[in-house]
Amino acid sequence: MMGNVFDRLANRNGRGDAPSPWLERWMPRPSIDLVEGLRYGPLPRQQLDLYLPHDRQARRRLLMFVYGGGWDAGARRTYRFVAHMMAARGFAVAIPDYRLYPEARFPDFLHDTAAAIAWLHANARDYGVNGSRMTLMGHSAGAYNAAMVSLDPRYLEAAGASPGVISGVVGLAGPYAFNPLLYDETRAIFATAAAEPDRAQPVRMVRRHAPPMLLAHGAVDTRVLPLNSLRLAEVLREAGNEASVKVYRRHGHVGVLLALAEPFRRLVRVLDDTVSFLRGVAA
């Protein structure tokens, strides 16, 4: 199945890491500039890269991509293929690093995600980008981070930004409806949430006036079940929000991300669906 092929291409099968060296051979060559290592905070991993299309109109749309890796792995440069694909379609793209376990535990990585958003909101104009409002996209743990900072206003408010700065969210294979305290792999990372476990679950943090969300999932994802996206969309709609779900029948956990890459974009609709949604909600 195509989804299994995509998953086998990942460096660490199932974790969400992208096979960057291979994909970079296929990256489109749009007219973009890369500004590397912008510091959104004082700590070593509180840095982001900003990909800037030469097209001034494209710089009106700012997208921040949050990568996955189980909250204990990942690096922003690994996901350059996402930035190149989205920049070629009319977006300025920011990819931040964030603190990982064991250095960080819940909610440190959420504070970092919110701090990166707040920094972009305040400083993107220095790079010719409209940072007044932006869209978010995340995969796996990164989709969780994006959803949480969009749904729980505490994080952006603590970073000095309004939740209204986010105009839309694309979540790829996010674990929105699981209790991390029940799983060996995530229990230590989320141990700090033991007193208030609901605070660590996006489905428990849904509020009215949440930004529109597109929740994309692979039907054969056995690492993060599609139920997570279906359940979050259901709760969002019940609260009066806009949410849509796309379940791609041949995709696994990593496949739904790699389908954005140049070698595969014509085979499946993940990229087209994502771009169409983001253009519709971008400020």
Burial per residue of 130-161, b for 16 or more beta-carbon CB atoms within 10 angstroms, e otherwise: ebebbbbbbbbbbbbbbbbbbbbbbbbeebeb
Amino acid in position 185? E
Half-sphere exposure at residue 226, Cβ-oriented, CA atoms within 13 angstroms: 15
DSSP for residue 73? -
CATH label of the domain that carries residue 107: 3.40.50.1820
Helix runs in the chain, H state only: 2-8, 20-24, 80-87, 108-123, 141-151, 153-159, 184-187, 227-238, 255-258, 270-281
Tokens of 143: 């989709």
> Which pLDDT belongs to residue 12?
45
> Which pLDDT belongs to residue 149?
98
Q: How does pLDDT run along the chain (283 residues), one tens digit per residue?
A: 344 444 444 444 445 455 555 555 555 555 688 999 999 999 999 999 999 988 777 678 999 999 999 999 999 998 998 998 999 899 999 999 999 999 999 999 999 999 999 999 999 999 999 999 999 999 999 999 999 999 999 999 999 999 999 999 999 999 999 999 999 999 999 999 999 999 999 999 999 999 999 999 999 999 999 999 999 999 999 999 999 999 998 889 988 998 888 766 655 789 999 999 999 998 6
Q: Specify the pTM.
A: 0.91
C-alpha to C-alpha distance for 198 and 215, rounded to whole angstroms: 21
Measured from the Cβ of residue 92, the count of other Cβ atoms closer than 10 Å reads: 29
Amino acid in position 211? P
Domain that holds residue 35: 2-281
C-alpha to C-alpha distance for 159 and 156, rounded to whole angstroms: 5
C-alpha to C-alpha distance for 83 and 31, rounded to whole angstroms: 12
> Domain tally for the chain?
1
Measured from the Cβ of residue 189, the count of other Cβ atoms closer than 10 Å reads: 24
